Amino acid sequence: MKQNTLKTLVLLFMIIFNSNLQAHADEKINNQELAYNLRHENIITKASLEKKYNLTLGKNKYESAGCAGCHDNGVLGAPKPGHKDSWGSRIGKGWGNIVNNAVSGFNQMPPKGGNESISQSDIENIIAYMVS
C-alpha cells in the first residue's frame, strides 16, 4: 500500500514536471513566432501590416515625431524597429494594448513619445513600421 502511494506520487510528480517542461518548450516556440502573432487577431506578417497600415508614412513619422530619438538606439530599453525579439512578446499583448500604451505612456515610454500633436492613426502607422 505504502509503496503504491509512493509510486503514485512519483508518477504525479513526473506528469507535473513533464507538463512544465512542455509549457516551457511551447513558450520558447511561441516567443519566436510571436513577432507575427497577434493573439486576438490573425497571424501578422509584413504583407498583412502593409494592407492595413501605411508603413512608408509610418517610417517618416517615426523619424519626424521623435520616436527615433529613443527607439533607434534602444534608449531606456525602447524596442528597436524591425527587432523581432524585442517586439515579439509585446505584440503578444495584443495590438490594441500596445497602441494604448504608446498613446497613454508605459513605464519609461512617455505618452505619445512626448509628442502631443501626433494622431492615433500616425501612431498605428509608426508601430506597424517598427514591428515589420
Per CB under 6 A, residues contacting ligand HEC are 65-67, 69-71, 75-79, 90, 93, 98, 101-102, 106-110, 112-115, 118, 123, 126-127
Closest CA to 78 of 126, 46, 45, 41: 126
Measure the CA–CA gap between 116 and 111, rounded to whole angstroms.
8
The residue with its CB nearest to ligand HEC is: 113
Pick between residue 48 and residue 105 the one whose CB is nearest to ligand HEC: 105
Task: Check: CB of residue 97 under 8 Å from CB of residue 125.
Answer: no
How far apart are CB 43 and ligand HEC at their closest, in Å? 19
How far apart are CB 14 and ligand HEC at their closest, in Å? 37
**Residue reference for cell 494604448:** 100
